[in-house]
């Protein structure tokens, strides 16, 4: 049996006008993460699979997690963290993921409210695992077979090692929970973990340096000279030893 861990975040709805009154209440599943859950469910329909939803929320409401459970997740882990520091979020998620048995981690490549695609790479680094970005779809036989989006092509790859599959949102027909699946939420196991903002990093000192830049006329130089000047600059500002 395959065990897939799907990371789902909540974000602002993109089809509603938000005001100061409802901006804190209005949340939906991040579409990229929802697509990752959709792909996990497709695998579950073909082969015996257990889907665990690790739901990250900035609020104490579990409405989003219940939605993910109704969409096909078998069990849930609710992680509350009110902060927005991506490095801290990655450390928190890595800590919780290490407690779970899994064959693969599915998540969206980005949050629609944060387009930097930073979390998947930081999470892969924290877990010391492989990252497979910009995935369009996954199939499972003996190993995971993926279709990955490139700048001008779409590659088909067989993945031999477990890791994080970070999905680009593909065109698909969104699903909605049925009455039967909503009623079945009560029978599904949910674990709750609560963090406060700033719990992860302690005793950290931030140093600031005032860097004065001089305007100079640009001139063409050789690669060797440019490399030498770049190294001198980096040593001056203690970026390298």
Q: Which domains does the chain possess?
A: 2-194 (3.40.50.620)
If we measure between CA atoms, which residue out of 89, 85, 239, 107 comes closest to residue 169?
A: 107
Span 184-198, average pLDDT: 89
Span 185-196, average pLDDT: 92
Instruction: Tell me: pLDDT of 156 over 80.
Output: yes
CA torsion angle for 29, 33, 34, 36 (degrees, to 10)? -170
Q: Report the b/e string of 219-232 with b at 16+ CB within 10 A.
A: eeeeeeeeeeeeee
Is pTM beyond 0.85? Reply is no
Average pLDDT, the chain: 85
Span 83-105, average pLDDT: 94
Q: Token pair 């938000």 is at which residue?
A: 18
**Helix%, strand%, coil% for the chain, nearest 5:** 30, 30, 45
E strand or H helix at 67, and its extent?
Answer: helix 63-70
Q: Which pLDDT value is given to residue 222?
A: 82
**Spatial distance between the Cα atoms of 163 and 140, rounded to a whole number of angstroms:** 14
Instruction: Tell me: pLDDT of 122 over 90.
Output: yes
Q: Which residue has the higher pLDDT, 65 or 149?
A: 65
Q: Which residue has the higher pLDDT, 210 or 114?
A: 114
pLDDT bin (cut points 50, 70, 90) of residue 20 is low
Span 25-33, average pLDDT: 85
Q: Which pLDDT value is given to residue 177?
A: 82
pLDDT bin (cut points 50, 70, 90) of residue 208 is very low
- The DSSP call for residue 185 is G
Span 180-208, average pLDDT: 76
pLDDT bin (cut points 50, 70, 90) of residue 204 is low
């Amino acid at each position: 049996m395959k065990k897939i861990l799907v990371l789902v975040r909540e974000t602002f709805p993109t089809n509603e006008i938000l005001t100061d009154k409802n901006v804190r209440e209005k949340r939906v599943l991040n579409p990229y993460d929802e697509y990752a859950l959709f792909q996990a469910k497709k695998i579950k329909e073909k082969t015996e699979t257990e889907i665990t939803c690790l739901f990250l929320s900035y609020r104490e409401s579990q409405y989003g997690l219940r939605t993910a459970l109704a969409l096909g997740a078998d069990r849930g882990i609710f992680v509350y963290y009110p902060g927005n520091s991506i490095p801290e979020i990655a450390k928190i998620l890595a800590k919780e993921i290490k407690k779970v048995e899994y064959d693969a981690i599915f998540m969206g490549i980005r949050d629609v409210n944060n387009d930097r695609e930073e979390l998947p790479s930081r999470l892969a680094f924290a877990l010391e695992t492989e990252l497979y970005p910009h995935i369009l779809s996954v199939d499972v036989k003996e190993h995971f077979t993926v279709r990955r989006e490139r700048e001008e092509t779409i590659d088909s790859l067989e993945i031999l090692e477990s890791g994080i599959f970070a999905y680009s949102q593909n065109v698909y027909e969104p699903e909605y929970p049925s009455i039967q699946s909503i009623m079945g939420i009560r029978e599904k196991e949910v674990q709750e973990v609560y963090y406060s903002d700033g719990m992860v990093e302690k005793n950290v000192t931030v140093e600031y340096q005032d860097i004065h830049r001089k305007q100079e006329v640009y001139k063409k130089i050789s690669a060797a000279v440019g490399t030498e000047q770049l190294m001198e600059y980096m040593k001056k500002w203690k970026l390298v030893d």
